[in-house]
Structure 1
Amino acid sequence: MTTSCWMTLVDNRSMGRTLKTRSALLASFWFGLCLFLSACTGEPEAKVTRLSGMTMGTTYNITLVTEGEVEDLANLKASVNNALAVVNQQMSTYIDNSEINRLKAQPVGEWTKVSRPLAEVLDVSLWVSEMSDGAFDVTLRPLVDLWGFGPGQEEDKVPTDDEILKAQSRVGYQHLELDKAGLRVKRDKPIDLDLSAVAKGYGVDVLAELLEHEGINHYLVEIGGEMRLKGHNPRGIPWRIAVERPDETLVQSVYQPLSVTNMGVATSGDYRNYFEKDGVRYSHTIDPRTGRPIRHNLVSVTVLSPSCAKADAMATAFSVLGAEDALTLANREGIAALFIIKESGQLKEVSSEAFKPYLTEPVAKTTSVQ
């Protein structure tokens, strides 16, 4: 997620919701800081190669650490761009003839063939939906559109109770059946899909697998703030990355450094993505169970998982659940998660047991919100 892109408003039109501001984790900031934290005092002995570009309404950044020059770098970048274009064509709500947009035109009650990538993303999504008791739901699109976060939505609007109930009647992951082995899906009602909370993470996984297929085993891949890291940084030690300090003023600073390798990383938060109407703040994160934006004190959650797609989806689910329920679920399922909570003008950290080995500083920190 490069020309000072984090200082501008991003119109995320090729994938997912229209974001009023940058994502909860400013990717350009995080990416640059990752490199700063992993840099050595002198020139690294390893060869460092960087690739970047646009995708899914945001940016991607890749850092490769190799012993020598990367062979045919131009061809590698072309392969990266082609792979991302395929994912976008399959999963974007903003492309009229994308696979998920074509899917909604298929007859209800009948099996429809889907691509393997879409089947894999739906499999992850349904798993997270079940695990979170519906806090995550890729059939949320009618509510996303209703609240003004969908394609072509510009007006900040607060829907009526009747409008919310009507939209909710067309939401529910239980109405989507997946035959993963047969690469087909069936809907028992006219539900519609929004994969914005998982597709960028899946795109990261696609690029990671592409790099490994090319024999590259030390890398950092990032799309729109979601990451996957493998091997070591130029210093020959595990990658160090930084969780951003939640700040509505767009002032960027490190909140928590992490030591991570062979892992996907995703962060979700609502402290930048919201609109205000009549003095009330409405988050872009909508609870599928209520049909309304979340209203709790969890401002940011970072999740680690070998699959960035899973980390991406789980971060959204935890954001919906709130810190207390999400922490209970993370500890029950052995999920590595860091929660940043706002209490009485102070930021407080809480982490699951599985997250603690990744911290470079202990979680007991409380700081004032400026």
Structure 2
Amino acid sequence: MKMTFIRAGLVAALLLLTGCDTGSKAQPTVLEGKTMGTFWRVSLVDIDAQQAKNLQQKIQAQLDGDDRLMSTWKGDSALMQFNHSTSTAPWPVSAAMADIITTALRVGEKTDGAMDITVGPLVNLWGFGPDKQPVKTPDQAQIDAAKARTGLAHLTVINRAGEQFLQKDLPDLFVDLSTVGEGYAADHLARLMEQQGIGRYLVSVGGALASRGLNAQGQPWRVAIQKPTDRENVAQAIVDINGHGISTSGSYRNYYELDGKRISHIIDPRSGRPIQHELVSVTVIAPTALEADTWDTGLMVLGTDKAKEVVQREGLAVMMIIKEGEGFRSWMSPQFSAFLLKEKN
């Protein structure tokens, strides 16, 4: 059985990739590490070695805290304490948790339930959560039983006198924030940079990125959108995202083989099964990485035609890559086209 756990649909564009002058002495300071089962990377300008060392520690500590907030792999995380509880009374949570879930519920409604953070039982059933991988394809009875424990209508965010609460009306409702956690963490890193007085940075957590200011060459930070294949690292497009968040969701990197079929990690909460359509990658640019990270999964679940309808209705900046024969074709909204790198004549 083959399993791949890489969600690097986006990579920070290097000098060779962006066409910048590689002879320039100006180089960014790059800090890297691991979090949430993926990698984080921060590129900075105009900081010294001691600042970089101190910042590395602060970044890792903050990301470790985010993991303790949202992880479904850590049984004592704040999220898992809520999931383990069978209480249907309001459950106190942090403002950060309330903000993440409020965003997810809003996008879930706008995608007709395609983006569903209560899909955890189905994610686990198909082997992409803390539970073990299935040894055979789940049958309809198992899928129906898992679906009965899901649904955005069963989860509510409550703001009461400045305090935040979650409330579920199904005792065994299971919330999974893995589809939005990277976006939140990237935004959180951006806020850390601001707090440290750093105004020129590109931060990434897995497939979610945020940026501000100019890079070491005095140009906007550029990001390469990877061609949707697990066999090569080739840029499909390059965008300037200065001051925005960007996130990619793809069905081509996190999967396994079961009963002769490729099982995608992206589960359609409406059917209870992994997606099988020809849409293989969705990239969203939004004011925040959390917003981008929340939309990309919902659009991936919808498939090409329905996703286009939502993108056009909501005025989103989106690029989609669709499998066509032995190759791929791309589609992008006018809002996304505005971010494309304009090559000099």
TM-score (ref. length: structure 2): 0.92
Q: Aligned partners of 1:142 and 1:48: how far apart in 2?
A: 43
The equivalent of 1:261 in structure 2 is 242
The equivalent of 2:334 in structure 1 is 353
Q: Which moved more, 1:145-154 or 1:291-300?
A: 145-154
Matched, 1:218 2:200: yes
The equivalent of 2:308 in structure 1 is 327
> CA offsets, 1:260-312, max 9 Å, x none?
21111100111222223333222111001110111111011100112111111
Matched, 1:20 2:1: no
Q: Which moved more, 1:93-102 or 1:271-280?
A: 271-280
Distance 1:334 1:64, change over 3 A: same
Q: How does 1:1-370 map to 2 (within 5 A)?
A: 20-23=4-7, 25=9, 30-31=11-12, 33=14, 36-37=17-18, 39-45=20-26, 48-66=28-46, 69=48, 72-180=51-159, 181-190=162-171, 191-248=173-230, 250-360=231-341
Q: Aligned partners of 1:105 and 1:129: how far apart in 2?
A: 23
Q: Aligned partners of 2:259 and 2:89: how far apart in 1?
A: 45
The answer (yes or no) to whether the contact 1:226–1:266 under 8 Å persists in 2 is yes
The answer (yes or no) to whether the contact 2:256–2:262 under 8 Å persists in 1 is yes
SS in 2 for 1:53: strand
Q: Aligned partners of 2:18 and 2:288: how far apart in 1?
A: 23
Distance 1:331 1:162, change over 3 A: same
The answer (yes or no) to whether the contact 2:267–2:301 under 8 Å persists in 1 is yes
SS in 2 for 1:262: coil
SS in 2 for 1:358: coil
Q: Aligned partners of 2:151 and 2:312: how far apart in 1?
A: 26
Q: Aligned partners of 2:340 and 2:97: how far apart in 1?
A: 34
Q: Measure how far apart 1:162 and its partner are.
A: 0.4
- The one-letter code of the counterpart of 1:23 is R
- The one-letter code of the counterpart of 1:147 is W
Distance 1:361 1:340, change over 3 A: farther
- The one-letter code of the counterpart of 2:179 is A
The answer (yes or no) to whether the contact 1:266–1:315 under 8 Å persists in 2 is yes
Q: Measure how far apart 1:156 and its partner are.
A: 4.9
The answer (yes or no) to whether the contact 1:299–1:341 under 8 Å persists in 2 is yes
Q: Aligned partners of 1:23 and 1:104: how far apart in 2?
A: 25
SS in 2 for 1:72: helix
- The one-letter code of the counterpart of 1:79 is K
Distance 1:199 1:35, change over 3 A: farther
The answer (yes or no) to whether the contact 1:39–1:234 under 8 Å persists in 2 is no
Q: Measure how far apart 1:246 and its partner are.
A: 1.2
Give unmatched runs, 5+ long, in structure 2: none
Give unmatched runs, 5+ long, in structure 1: 1-8, 10-18, 363-370
Distance 1:361 1:290, change over 3 A: farther
The answer (yes or no) to whether the contact 1:141–1:150 under 8 Å persists in 2 is yes
- The one-letter code of the counterpart of 1:197 is T
The answer (yes or no) to whether the contact 1:90–1:99 under 8 Å persists in 2 is yes
Q: Measure how far apart 1:95 and its partner are.
A: 0.5
- The one-letter code of the counterpart of 1:202 is Y
> CA offsets, 1:231-286, max 9 Å, x none?
111111111211111124x2211111112211111001112222233332221110
The count of corresponding residues between Structure 1 and Structure 2 is 339
Quote the sequence identity (%): 37
The equivalent of 1:15 in structure 2 is none
Q: Aligned partners of 1:272 and 1:156: how far apart in 2?
A: 21
- The one-letter code of the counterpart of 2:36 is M
The answer (yes or no) to whether the contact 2:15–2:22 under 8 Å persists in 1 is no
The answer (yes or no) to whether the contact 1:148–1:156 under 8 Å persists in 2 is no
Q: Aligned partners of 1:53 and 1:257: how far apart in 2?
A: 24
> CA offsets, 1:187-241, max 9 Å, x none?
1112111100000110001000000111111111011121111111111111121
Q: Aligned partners of 1:178 and 1:317: how far apart in 2?
A: 20
TM-score (ref. length: structure 1): 0.86
SS in 2 for 1:229: strand
